[in-house]
Amino acid sequence: MSVDKVEAIEQIQELVEQINCLGHELKTLFRDAFPSEHTRLDAYAAFDLTSSRNPYDTTIESELENIQAEDFEDDY
């Protein structure tokens, strides 16, 4: 894998981590200020901003895993 792609993957991973932290902050704010809305949003995994409970959904995390798996296969 080229250096540019490795750097891009690392940047994506950092952004995913930041986005997930923001999702957690959103969840906390909703839980504290709007408990009924929090319950509904949490039930639908609305705070999972880069992933999904549904394995058939295409998400940032699933695509990143696919890219990394394809690259691993290409190395062998």
Of 22, 23, 29, give the one whose Cα is nearest residue 45.
23
The domain containing residue 23 runs over which residues? Answer: 3-74
Residue 73 confidence class, pLDDT cut points 50, 70, 90:
low
> Whole-angstrom Cα distance, residue 37 to residue 35?
6
In the chain, how many domains are there? 1
State how far the Cα of 53 lies from the Cα of 30, in Å rounded to an integer. Answer: 20
Whole-model pTM over 0.85: no
**What is the structure's pLDDT at 72?**
61
Q: At what angle do helices 3-33 and 60-74 cross, to 10 degrees?
A: 160
Q: What is the pLDDT of residues 17-48, one digit of tens each?
A: 999 999 999 999 999 999 999 999 999 999 99
